[in-house]
Structure 1
Amino acid sequence: MSFGTHARRVRDEGAPAARRHAALRCAVSEYCPLGFHATWAYVSATALPSPDLRRDTSALLRALSVLEASRAVRIGEGASFAARRRAEKAAGLRTPRVAPAPAWRPHWPTPPGTAPSRLGLVAAVADRHRAFRRLPRPDDALVAGRLLELHGRLEACGTAYLTALGLPDDATRDELSDTVTGIRGEVLPGPAPLNHRLFQWLGFADLLGYAAAVPSAR
C-alpha cells in the first residue's frame, strides 16, 4: 500500500486507536529518511506534549503531520533536481552540477531556512545509541583490540552528543570524524563476515554525524 493510504488510515477517526497506530508505523516504513527506528523515534518525540502514540490519537496526528511535512519537502527536492537535470542535459552537461544527497544517508528534509527538530534528532540518536550498545562486540583476537577501541570511541561520541542534548562541541565532532575514518579503514574488500558488523556501526555513525552537524536545530 502507498504512503497516502496509510496516512488516510491514521486519520480515520472511526478506526480503533491500535489500527491507526499500526497505520502510522506503516507510513514510517514507506518514508523513513533517518531509517525506520530513528524516524519513528523522531516523530514520536516531536509529537509532544503527549508522545504516547498508542493511546493519544492527537499525538498520532501530530506525528503524522511531522512526517508528511518532511516527505513533501523530499518530493519537492526530487522534482527540482529532475527539472534541473533535464535543463543540464539539454545544455550538454552529462554530470550534475549539484548531486542530491545519497538516499541511504540519514537526512531530515525541511523547508529552506529551517532546521530539523533538535529534540527529534536527540531522540533518534538515543534510540540508535541503545541499539548500538546491544550489538555483539568483536571477539576475533586479531582485530578485537583495534575494533574494541573504535567501538568504545563511537559509543563515547554518542554519549557526548546526548549529554550535550544535541549541541556537541567541536572536539566531539572531530573525535567522531576520526572514529568514523578509523571504522571505514577496517572494512575489507568483498563480502567479508566482519563487514556486516562494521556496516552496522557505520549506520549509527552516519546518523550521529548528521545530527551533530546540524547547527541550528531547534
Structure 2
Amino acid sequence: MSFGAFARRVRDEQLAPARRHRALRWAVGEYGPLGFHATWAYLAATALPAPDLRRDMSALLRALDTLEASRAARLEEVAAFAARRRVEKAAGVRTPRSGDPLAPHRRPHWPGGSGPSRLGLVAAVANRRAEFQRVPHPDPSLLSDDRARQLWELYGRLDACAAAYLTALGRPDEAVRDEAAAIVTGISHHLTPGYAPLNVHLFQWLRFAELLDYAAKAPAVSRAR
C-alpha cells in the first residue's frame, strides 16, 4: 500500500484506534526522513499537548499532519532536484553532488517550514541514544589493539556528545556542534568498502552520529514545532 492509503486509514474514524495507530506506523515506514524510530519519536513528541498516539486520536492526527507536511516539502525537493539534474546532465555533469536530496547516502533531514522542531529532534536523539547504548560492541577479534582503542574512543565521544546535546535541550554550543561533525568523519574513516563484519556495527554508529550532527546544527524553533 502507498503512503496516501495509510494516511487515509489514520483519518478513518470508522476504524479502531489500534488500526489507525498501526496505519500511522506503516506511513512512517513509507516515509521516515530521520529513520523509522527517530521519526516516530519526533512525531510523538510534537503531537502536543497529549503525545499518546495509541490512545489519543487527536494527537494521532496531529502527528499525521506533521508527517504529511514534511513529505509534501520532500516531494518539492525531489522535483527541484530532478529539474536541476536535467540541466546538469545536459551540461555534462553526470554525478549528483553529495548534498543533493537524492544522493545515494542521504543523511537525516526534516524537510519543510522554517526548520525542524527542537523538541522533536531532542526526542529523536534521546530515542536513538538509548538504542545506541544497547548496541553490542564489535567482536574484538576483528580489530587490532590500536583500532579497538580508536573505536572505543569514538564510541565514548559519541555518547558524551549526545549527552551534552540533550543536557542543553537541543541548544548546543559550538563545541558540541563541531564535535558531532568530527565524530561523523571519524566513524566514516573506519568504514570499509563492500561488505565487512565491522561495518554492521559502524553503520549503526554512523546513523546515530549523523542524526546528532543534523540535530546539533538545525536552527532551534518553537516548542510546538
Q: Structure 2: how far apart are the matches of 1:27 and 1:190?
A: 31
What is the one-letter code of the residue matched to 1:155? Answer: D
Normalising to structure 2: TM-score of the pair?
Answer: 0.89
Aligned counterpart in structure 2 of residue 106 of structure 1, from 102, 105, 108: 108
Q: Structure 1: how far apart are the matches of 2:79 and 2:138?
A: 44
Q: Any stretches of 5+ residues in structure 1 without a counterpart?
A: none
Question: What is the total number of aligned residue pairs between the two structures?
Answer: 214
1:136 maps to what in 2? 136
Q: Give the conservation status (yes or no) of the 8 Å contact 2:9–2:20.
A: yes
Q: Any stretches of 5+ residues in structure 2 without a counterpart?
A: none
Q: Structure 2: how far apart are the matches of 1:84 and 1:122?
A: 33
Matched, 1:198 2:196: no
| Change over 3 Å in CA distance of 1:195–1:217 after alignment to 2 | same
Matched, 1:83 2:87: no
1:171 maps to what in 2? 175
Matched, 1:126 2:120: no
For 2:110, what is the secondary structure of its paired residue? coil
Q: Structure 2: how far apart are the matches of 1:58 and 1:205?
A: 33
Deviation for aligned residue 1:121: 0.6
Q: Structure 2: how far apart are the matches of 1:144 and 1:108?
A: 34
RMSD over equivalenced CA pairs, Å: 1.8
What is the one-letter code of the residue matched to 1:173? Answer: R
Q: Give the conservation status (yes or no) of the 8 Å contact 2:171–2:220.
A: no
Normalising to structure 1: TM-score of the pair?
Answer: 0.91
Deviation for aligned residue 1:85: 3.2
Deviation for aligned residue 1:192: 1.9
| Change over 3 Å in CA distance of 1:16–1:109 after alignment to 2 | same
Deviations 1:63-96 (A, max 9, x none): 000000000001111112223333455xx31327
What is the one-letter code of the residue matched to 1:131? Answer: E
1:29 maps to what in 2? 29
Deviation for aligned residue 1:25: 0.3
For 1:134, what is the secondary structure of its paired residue? coil
Matched, 1:184 2:182: no
Deviation for aligned residue 1:195: 1.3
| Change over 3 Å in CA distance of 1:182–1:100 after alignment to 2 | closer
What is the one-letter code of the residue matched to 1:148? Answer: W
Matched, 1:153 2:151: no
Q: Give the conservation status (yes or no) of the 8 Å contact 2:117–2:220.
A: no
Q: Between the two proteins, what is the percent identity of the paired residues? A: 63
